[in-house]
């Protein structure tokens, strides 16, 4: 028999839906009210929902209900861009997981790293969006769970879309896997999956076709070939075919319509992303130097060095996946076999970001690789250390290296075109989705996931670049 408090929560939550809740949302209302009042240990709730099933609407309703009942809650997401999207649809500020659960520390050798912060919250609900992006390799899921449940009577809600690309190196998304959370982490877990597409969403060609792709994903097996999906462009004007010869004019039109930061080309490989970034900078933005004022760059390696002295920023991490914009260039130089620039930047996804003075490595900007290899990083360390041999002891040399601007330079790529994994978690008004090289043998379940993830990055317009005619009715 539900308690009076549980019934109050479910009634309040139901009233926050502006439309009649779907069957899945009705189940969520009951599951969420049980989740909030449960006295079982390590309570967690998984909410999975495909594009167009009302997942965002449901989280908005949950947030308003938590505010009404004065329940403490925290909104988290894996990337700055995802946190910005979460804040926009919920009306409540959201944080990246890294920035919220970690604190910078210095070890005895002077190396900067991080440790899990102390969870000082009591009776709080932690809501994590885009949880499909959280992998096992980085230890982030372990640390998130450890952080949340170290707080008194705290509970965890994991929200995501199981049809999206899983983290690199994973076949499924562990943070959305019921058995993983139960067996590996000892959580008390309930799961709700929203599958019914909200009627008004079917007026969008983007969501209608994403729904068809999702059905294809559900009906396929890992590693098996899939038939060619056929896109319906008649539901609305938001999905269009785009020929290569019209690409430049289309990007220019979209820039005028949504601004440069409202348009991204999503592609399958780092090599293609580099090619698009070069063409956009040279032909559309008229940028000829290796780096220019106004350039948008994506960080590809966590950095704990440059934010230490900025009180306006709550932590010391510039995270892999963060986007920065160059506002000033002070110097360019080459050293240790790499190119660098001393610049001022703003953190694109941080509201009221201060101007940050730092060094960026420009070597990677036009390189087909996603980042420096481990051996290249070791080689860079050795070359820098050789310049400090006169300091004598290994500890003094090491201390000098880890404070060297070249060793600590921010590793970045241009952000006008991104691979789908890098774009995941973000949404833009306009997406240009590049088919790239594709054979029938490459069309499997994981490719469908890639396609689905690319489709669902677009909010208002999706342009399908050089897609074969077999994809269209």
Average pLDDT over residues 190-207: 84
Is residue 343 scored above 70 in pLDDT? yes
Question: What's the chain's length in residues?
Answer: 473
Q: What is the per-residue pLDDT for 288? A: 86
Q: What tokens were used for 140?
A: 């982030």
Domain limits, CATH 2.30.30, in the chain: 295-414
How do residues 280-304 score in pLDDT, each as one tens digit? 999 999 998 899 999 999 999 888 8
Q: pLDDT band at 220, cuts 50/70/90?
A: confident
Average pLDDT over residues 78-82: 88
Q: pLDDT band at 74, cuts 50/70/90?
A: very high
Task: Write out the E strands in 18-154.
Answer: 43-49, 73-77, 95-96, 102-106, 112-116, 125-128
Q: What does 315-355 look like in DSSP terms, one character per residue? A: SS-B-TT-EEEEEEEEEEEEETTEEEEEEEEEETTSTTPPP
Q: What is the per-residue pLDDT for 312? A: 66
Is residue 199 scored above 80 in pLDDT? no
Domain limits, CATH 3.40.50.300, in the chain: 1-199, 202-289+417-471
Round the average pLDDT of the chain to a whole number and report it.
91
Q: Is the model more confident about 26 or about 201? A: 26
**Cα–Cα distance list, 448 to 442, 445, 462 (Å):** 10, 5, 16
CATH of domain 295-414: 2.30.30
Contact 362, 343 (CB under 8 A): no
Q: pLDDT band at 310, cuts 50/70/90?
A: confident
Q: pLDDT band at 118, cuts 50/70/90?
A: very high
Phi-psi region of 18 (alpha: psi -120 to 50; beta: other; left: phi over 0): alpha
Is residue 353 scored above 90 in pLDDT? no
Q: pLDDT band at 168, cuts 50/70/90?
A: confident
Task: Write out the E strands in 164-288.
Answer: 188-194, 239-242, 263-267
Is residue 113 scored above 70 in pLDDT? no
Q: Per CATH, is 1-199 categorized as 3.50.50.60?
A: no
- How far apart, in whole angstroms, are the C-alpha atoms of residue 438 and residue 454? 15
Sign of CA dihedral 373, 375, 376, 382: positive
Helix (H) or strand (E) holding 463: strand 458-465
Contact 44, 12 (CB under 8 A): no
Contact 197, 55 (CB under 8 A): no
What 3-state class would DSSP assign to 39? coil
Phi-psi region of 358 (alpha: psi -120 to 50; beta: other; left: phi over 0): beta
**Cα–Cα distance list, 402 to 64, 109, 399, 445 (Å):** 46, 10, 6, 44
Distance of CA 44 to the CA centre of its chain: 22
Q: What is the per-residue pLDDT for 17? A: 92
Q: What tokens were used for 381?
A: 């360390």
- How far apart, in whole angstroms, are the C-alpha atoms of residue 208 and residue 201? 7
Q: pLDDT band at 473, cuts 50/70/90?
A: confident
Task: Identify any residues that bridge with 255 across adjacent strands, giving them in sequence order.
Answer: none
Q: What is the per-residue pLDDT for 351? A: 76
pTM of the model: 0.91
Q: What is the per-residue pLDDT for 201? A: 65
Top CATH class, 202-289+417-471:
alpha beta
- How far apart, in whole angstroms, are the C-alpha atoms of residue 112 and residue 246? 48
Query: What proportion of the chain, given as a percentage, has pLDDT over 70?
Result: 96
Q: pLDDT band at 223, cuts 50/70/90?
A: confident
Q: How many CB atoms lie within 10 A of CB 424?
A: 25
């Amino acid at each position: 028999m539900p308690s009076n408090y549980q019934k109050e929560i479910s009634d309040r939550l139901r009233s926050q839906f502006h439309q009649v809740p779907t069957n899945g949302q009705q189940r969520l209302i009951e599951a969420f009210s049980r989740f909030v009042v449960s006295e079982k240990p390590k309570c967690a709730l998984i909410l999975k929902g495909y594009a167009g099933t009302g997942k965002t609407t449901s989280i908005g309703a949950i947030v308003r209900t938590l505010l009404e009942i004065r329940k403490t809650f925290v909104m988290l997401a894996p990337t700055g861009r995802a946190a910005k999207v979460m804040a926009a649809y919920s009306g409540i500020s959201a944080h990246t997981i890294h920035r919220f659960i970690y604190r910078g520390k210095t070890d005895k050798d002077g190396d900067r790293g991080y440790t899990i912060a102390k969870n000082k919250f009591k009776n709080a609900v932690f809501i994590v969006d885009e949880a499909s992006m959280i992998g096992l390799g980085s230890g982030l899921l372990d640390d998130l769970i450890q952080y949340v449940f170290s707080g008194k009577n705290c509970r965890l809600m994991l929200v995501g879309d199981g049809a999206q690309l899983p983290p690199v190196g994973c076949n499924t998304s562990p943070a959305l896997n019921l058995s993983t959370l139960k067996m590996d982490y000892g959580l008390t877990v309930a799961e709700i999956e929203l599958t019914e597409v909200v009627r008004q969403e079917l007026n969008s060609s983007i969501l209608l076709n994403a729904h068809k792709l999702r059905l294809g994903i559900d009906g396929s097996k890992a590693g098996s070939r899939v038939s060619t999906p056929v896109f319906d462009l008649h539901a609305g004007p938001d999905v269009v075919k785009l020929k290569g010869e019209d690409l430049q004019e289309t990007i220019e039109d979209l820039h005028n319509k949504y601004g440069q930061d409202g348009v991204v080309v999503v592609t399958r490989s780092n090599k293609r992303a580099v090619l698009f970034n070069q063409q956009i900078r040279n032909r559309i933005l008229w940028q000829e130097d290796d780096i220019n004022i106004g350039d948008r760059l994506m960080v590809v390696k966590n950095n704990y060095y440059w934010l230490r002295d900025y009180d306006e920023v709550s932590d010391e991490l510039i995270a892999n996946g963060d986007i920065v914009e160059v506002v000033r260039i002070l110097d360019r130089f080459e050293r240790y076999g790499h190119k660098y620039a001393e610049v001022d930047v703003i953190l694109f996804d941080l509201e009221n970001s201060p101007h940050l003075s730092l060094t960026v490595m420009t070597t990677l900007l036009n390189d087909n690789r996603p980042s420096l290899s481990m051996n290249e990083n070791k080689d860079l360390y050795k070359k820098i250390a050789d310049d400090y041999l006169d300091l004598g002891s290994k500890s003094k040399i090491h201390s000098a290296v880890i404070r060297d601007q070249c060793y600590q330079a921010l590793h970045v790529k241009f952000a006008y075109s991104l691979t789908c994994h890098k774009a995941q978690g973000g949404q833009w008004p306009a997406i240009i989705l590049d088919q790239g090289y594709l054979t029938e043998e490459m069309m499997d379940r994981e490719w469908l996931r890639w396609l689905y993830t690319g489709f669902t990055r677009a909010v208002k317009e999706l342009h399908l670049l050089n897609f074969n005619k077999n994809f269209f009715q």
